[in-house]
């Protein structure tokens, strides 16, 4: 694995995210994946190579075709890494929203009295 | 397009949009937090500038909060025994009401160096708004450690809870 190709870099690209969505639904050959995009075939191949290098996809030779499978463990790893941090902020912001909403209700009630 | 860390969740529940998004590119010493609120921008801004509100949503005591250029702030949280469990301070570099706060943030008594935060407040409609927090850390490593902190704390809490269960059985 090329260490410079990190998972975060891999999923920063919208086309690569779309590829992951496709393969998540069903394992596919390189040709079938490429047929979903207007991009040139070599470009799609390059994306597949990057996704494979960082282990988000696993490739399997099947005769003349290469089939791509999703590596769910790697996907989980990325999501879990920052998810608690995101959740912490989401909880805080939810509290902020409800605190300020009750303040808003309070001042609008006072204004109408 | 920002990568949101809910990626594997969105595969399972495609239609569920997560409100708070974290954009953290690999190899960079910065992150972007975005969130939209069902609040007018004035109220969102007030949540950051009035001590009583900051205390409620941040869950900490506000000892100082000077909302002006060259101002500063100091937050402190005590546990039930009166010991300090969290203390953070910073300087305010820019302050534009309902638009922008640029400030530093540092947690005291931790190995984490000071970080700089660019907070932008945006009016979306009469009753909705958005905050964008761009945080820059001293290094990529410190950024990653900071991002992992709640994950590590979660593990510790689970571990402590297990210990409590086992010790209470004795």
B115 vs A41, residue with greater confidence: B115
The mean of the pLDDT values for chain A is 84
With CB atoms and an 8 Å threshold, state whether A79 touches B8. yes
Highest mean pLDDT among A12-26, A77-91, B75-89: B75-89
With CB atoms and an 8 Å threshold, state whether B5 touches A82. yes
Query: What is the reported pLDDT for B116?
Result: 98
pTM above 0.80, yes or no: no
* Model confidence at A31: pLDDT above 80: yes
With CB atoms and an 8 Å threshold, state whether B20 touches A82. no
Mean pLDDT in residue range B61-71? 97
Query: What is the reported pLDDT for B11?
Result: 33
Assigned token pair, A93: 């912001």
Taking CB atoms and an 8 Å cutoff, what residues of chain A touch B4? 86
Per-residue pLDDT of B5-41, as tens digits, reads 433 333 333 334 678 999 988 789 999 999 999 999 9
* Number of other CB atoms surrounding residue B45 within 10 Å: 23
Task: Answer yes or no: is the ipTM higher than 0.90.
Answer: no
Least confident stretch, A64-68, B65-69, B84-88, B145-149? B145-149
Report yes or no: A22 at the B interface, CB cutoff 8 Å: no
Assigned token pair, B147: 């991002």
How far does the CA of residue B32 sit from the closest CA of chain A (Å)? 11
With CB atoms and an 8 Å threshold, state whether B27 touches A9. yes
With CB atoms and an 8 Å threshold, state whether A21 touches B56. no
Distance CA A5, CA A13 (A): 12
* Model confidence at B4: pLDDT above 80: no
Query: What is the reported pLDDT for B17?
Result: 60
- The CA radius of gyration of chain A, in Å to the nearest whole number, is 22
Q: Which DSSP symbol is given to B85?
A: E
List, as ranges, residues 34-93 from A with C-beta within 8 Å of B: 72, 75-76, 78-90, 92-93
With CB atoms and an 8 Å threshold, state whether A81 touches B154. no
Mean pLDDT in residue range B59-81? 95
Query: What is the reported pLDDT for B163?
Result: 56
Per-residue pLDDT of B130-155, as tens digits, reads 999 999 999 998 998 888 887 666 65
CB B147 within 8 A of CB A78: no
Report yes or no: A101 at the B interface, CB cutoff 8 Å: yes
With CB atoms and an 8 Å threshold, state whether B39 touches A99. no
Per-residue pLDDT of A40-57, as tens digits, reads 889 999 999 999 998 889
| Residue B120 CB burial class (10 angstroms; 0-12, 13-18, ≥19) | middle
pLDDT bucket at B72, cuts 50 / 70 / 90: very high
Report yes or no: B12 at the A interface, CB cutoff 8 Å: no
Query: What is the reported pLDDT for B62?
Result: 97
Report yes or no: A7 at the B interface, CB cutoff 8 Å: yes
CB B158 within 8 A of CB B141: no
pLDDT bucket at A110, cuts 50 / 70 / 90: confident
Mean pLDDT in residue range A45-74? 90
């Amino acid at each position: 694995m090329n260490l410079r190709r990190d998972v975060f870099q891999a999923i920063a690209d919208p086309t690569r995210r779309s590829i992951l969505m496709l393969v998540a639904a069903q394992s596919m050959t390189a040709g079938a994946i490429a047929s979903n995009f207007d991009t040139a075939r070599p470009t799609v191949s390059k994306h597949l190579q990057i996704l494979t290098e960082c282990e988000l996809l696993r490739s399997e030779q099947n005769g003349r075709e290469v089939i791509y499978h999703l590596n769910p463990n790697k996907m989980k790893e990325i999501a879990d890494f920052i998810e608690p941090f995101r959740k912490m902020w989401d909880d805080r912001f939810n509290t902020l929203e409800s605190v300020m909403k009750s303040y808003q209700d309070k001042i609008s009630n006072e204004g109408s009295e | 397009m920002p990568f949101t860390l809910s990626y594997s969740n969105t595969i399972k529940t495609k239609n569920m949009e997560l409100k708070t998004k974290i954009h953290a590119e690999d190899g960079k010493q910065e992150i972007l937090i975005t969130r939209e609120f069902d609040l007018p921008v004035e109220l969102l801004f007030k949540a950051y500038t009035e001590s009583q509100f900051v205390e409620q949503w941040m869950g900490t005591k506000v000892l100082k909060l000077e909302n002006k250029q060259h101002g500063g702030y100091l937050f402190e949280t005590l546990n039930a025994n009166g010991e300090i469990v969290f203390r953070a301070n910073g300087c305010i570099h820019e302050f534009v009401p309902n638009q922008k706060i640029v400030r530093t943030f540092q947690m005291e008594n931790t190995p984490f160096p000071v970080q700089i935060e660019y907070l932008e407040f945006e009016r979306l409609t009469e009753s909705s708004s958005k905050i964008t927090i761009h945080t820059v850390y001293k290094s990529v490593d410190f950024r990653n450690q900071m991002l992992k902190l709640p994950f590590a704390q979660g593990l510790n809490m689970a571990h402590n809870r297990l210990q409590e269960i086992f010790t209470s059985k004795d």
